Amino acid sequence: MGSKRFFVILNEKSGTAMTRGLTRDFVQTRLEEAGYEAEVVSDLSKGLEALAERAIKSDAEVIVAGGGDGTVTGIAEHLVGHDKPLLILPLGTANALARDLNMELDFDRWVDGLEYLKERRIDVGSVNGKRFMHLVVIGLMPGIASAREKVRQHQTVGTAIRFMAFLARRFARTRRITVDLIPEGGQPETHRVSAIAVGNNLFDAEFGHVFTRQVLDDGQLSIYLLRRIGPLKALQLALGMVFGWWRQDEEISLRQTGQVTVTTRRKLVKVMFDGEPMSLRGPLHFRIEPKALRVLAPPPPAVADRDPA
């Protein structure tokens, strides 16, 4: 990796930080023992934006986001356009971006693997100027976020079965909404959907890969329209997500574009934003920022086929 000076923004209250005892002093000592200079900050009371600005102005070569997806997104959005790369210390439950980057989840193995990391540039999504790293969902209940975290933390057969049952129940209760969709360079479309999801790049359709991405730099938003769902269809779709054939479902249509505007009949739109429920004022203007974020991560695996079909 070459870089030796780190500025670490550590969320000591994130899930695995608390269970593993990863305090500010422990993390700093472990990094120094491995030969790295580290300034570790764990007081987040001034906000992630202020800490990110402080890290950018410091003499550190690398900015480390230690925490879950919320912490990572909160720091990453402020590093776009700067020359210091982001390094993720995954301490959450889902660790969506860290897993997609194939980062080590065990702290000791993470430290031992630092010297082998390479710099990559990955895409960043945004909606109404607010940047996201993973996925924004409109129309599904916020409880899906907790299910996503559980299935990504424990990729077991039992978890997959419970996940399928959970999705079946949630999808069956979802009410349809009307959305207007205006893709970049395209004609306006009106749809009645149970949900619409806008992802930063394309999500995998492979066995056991739920809400994961192999490609993070294709420069495209992936827009998934779920038209109609009932109890049996919900179970079928949940099975498809686990076994990898969900994109072939007749009730799902996929668009890929660099920009899209989504309008609903509500002024305030409830969404799941990188796994966190929030409300955004419509219309929702989505766009991709190609290779806008520098990250340190293992080299990406070879991807032979990027065809979404």
Domains of the chain (ranges; CATH) run 5-116 (3.40.50.10330), 130-290 (2.60.200.40)
Opening angle at CA 18, ends 156 and 133, nearest 5? 65
User: Which SS3 state, helix, strand or coil, does residue 185 take?
Assistant: coil
Please give the structure tokens belonging to residue 124.
Answer: 């960043």
**What's the confidence (pLDDT) of residue 216?**
96
**What's the confidence (pLDDT) of residue 227?**
78
**What's the confidence (pLDDT) of residue 199?**
95
**What's the confidence (pLDDT) of residue 228?**
64
Q: For the whole model, what pTM was predicted?
A: 0.82
**What's the confidence (pLDDT) of residue 129?**
95
Please give the structure tokens belonging to residue 235.
Answer: 């179970």
- Which residues lie closer than 8 Å to 45 by C-beta, 6 or more apart? none
**What's the confidence (pLDDT) of residue 42?**
96
pLDDT along the chain (309 residues), means of 10: 89 87 94 96 95 96 95 95 96 90 96 95 97 89 51 57 65 77 88 91 75 91 81 62 65 89 92 87 96 94 52
- Which residues lie closer than 8 Å to 252 by C-beta, 6 or more apart? 224, 225, 226, 227, 237, 246
**What's the confidence (pLDDT) of residue 302?**
65
